[in-house]
Amino acid sequence: MVTRNSGKAQIEVVNPVAEVRPSAALPARRLDTLSGKRIVLWWNTKSQGDVALNAAAEAIEQRFEHVTFTRFTRQLDRRPGPYDAIKKIGPDAVIGSTGD
C-alpha cells in the first residue's frame, strides 16, 4: 500500500502469508479386518493416483478374502466434495489417492 503524506510516499510492507491455525481431527476407527469389507478407491484424477490405488487393491486382495471395491473418481474443486456421494455407497473404508 502506498500513501502520500506531505508530498512524501510511504510504503507499508506486509507479510502475505496467512496465519496457520491447526485443527485437531480424530482418526477414523480402525477396522479389525478387511475380509468381507466394501472399500471405495477414490481417485481425484491427478497423474498416477490410479496406479497407486490399483496397487493397493491388488495387495489387499492378496491378503484378505471377499473384499469388494468400488472405484470413485472425482476432481476436487470448490463445489461440495465427493463425501456425500461416497456416503451413499456405504463403504466400510475409503482409500484415497491424489497422485502427483
| Tally of CB atoms within 10 A around 41 | 23
* Cα distance between residue 43 and residue 30, in whole Å: 21
pTM above 0.85, yes or no: no
Q: What angle do CA 47, 48, 51 make, to 5 degrees?
A: 155
Q: How do the pLDDT tens digits run along the chain, 100 residues long?
A: 555 566 678 888 888 887 888 888 888 889 999 999 999 998 888 888 899 999 999 999 999 999 999 998 876 555 556 677 778 888 999 998 876 6
- Domain residue limits, the chain: 33-100
Q: Domain 33-100 class? A: alpha beta
SS3 assignment, position 60: helix
